[in-house]
Amino acid sequence: MNKSRRIGTMLALATATIGMVTALATAPAAASSPKDRGPAPAGSWLNKVSAYGDTWIKIYWVTGKPACDVKVRVRAEDVSVYYPNGKRFTSPYRGDMLKPGKKDYTAIRVDPALKKSGIAKLLATISYRECGPHGHAMKKTFSLALPVVTEKPGHGGGPLKPGY
């Protein structure tokens, strides 16, 4: 491959990557300063999972304001979602509160229905109450990307087909 084609390919990949990241970013969270913001995911990309079977994953959260009575519900088109202890939601690991400057996570179990490698879109809705005697109930939804890979079970992670 000649040099100009290689540079063109790299530019196309960089442009596509920037477009995907921009599409997944949450505009309202970026509009305000971090100290004024309520809870938000620490990032929009989750750890990769295998398409074969279910996997526990963590969604990390940060906040600029304290959030109490935190509950997270996740939905996706091509992924079954299960919560700890058979509940219909998950809460932060350290309790039902998120504190400013302290990263915490919520755990969910996912079972992708994808038959080939790709990105599954998850919508995570966090509901919480502003801490304090007159705290308002709040709800926000965030788009998250879940990379799904098709690996042979128990085969050390090699892809089934080249190029995936």
How many whole angstroms separate alpha carbon 119 and alpha carbon 154?
Answer: 22
Set out the domains of the chain in order of their start, with CATH numbers.
31-149 (2.60.40.10)
Sign of CA dihedral 46, 48, 51, 56: negative
List CB contacts of 127: < 8 A, sequence separation 6 or more.
69, 70, 71, 72, 73, 137, 138, 139
How many whole angstroms separate alpha carbon 154 and alpha carbon 131?
Answer: 46
pLDDT of residue 102: 94
Q: Look at residues 15, 29, 14, 17 and name the one whose alpha carbon lies nearest to residue 143.
A: 29
Q: What is the mean pLDDT of the chain?
A: 81
pLDDT tens sequence across 18-36: 444 444 444 444 444 556 6
List CB contacts of 91: < 8 A, sequence separation 6 or more.
70, 71, 72, 106
Tell me: pLDDT of 4 over 80.
no
pLDDT tens sequence across 37-81: 899 999 999 999 999 889 999 999 999 999 999 999 999 999 999
pLDDT band per the 50, 70, 90 thresholds, residue 114: confident
Contact 105, 93 (CB under 8 A): yes
